[in-house]
Amino acid sequence: MASVKKPRFTYNRLNRRLDVLVRGKLWLQVILALCTGIGVGLVLGPDLDFVPRDQAAVIGDWLGLPGNLFLALVRMVIIPLAASSIILGIAGTGGGEALRTVGRKLLVFVMLTTVTAVMIGISLAR
């Protein structure tokens, strides 16, 4: 009978690793990454001139790629998150009367702030 191999990567194993990471010395990893980033920045910087500027720019662009991708992904999430928060807020008001009350207050607030901004703008433009 053939023996069944266990997969090397299981979710339980990943979960244990994440628990160790969270409960472990995460602060130490952050400090080490910070020091590594400072060291790489010094080596690639123009002050020490270890690496020619054109090569340093290319290396810096490649090292910055994961951070730029992360920021782009965060920007992509903001609009759906805001829209879903607004929709859930409207749905959670209960009934039509509560929504009308909030809508009236919002309309008055927007009109007052708009009139105030216009008056400030006109007075400063003279």
Per-residue pLDDT band for 5 (boundaries 50, 70, 90) equals low
Residue 18, pLDDT above cutoff 70: yes
Helices (H), the chain: 11-23, 26-44, 53-91, 96-125
Q: How would you class 12 by CB atoms within 10 Å of its CB: exposed for 0-12, middle for 13-18, buried for 19 or more?
A: exposed
Q: What is the mean pLDDT of the chain?
A: 84
Per-residue pLDDT band for 112 (boundaries 50, 70, 90) equals very high
Residue extents of the structural domains in the chain: 11-94, 95-126
- The confidence score (pLDDT) of residue 1 equals 53
Answer whether 42's CB lies under 8 Å from 48's CB. yes
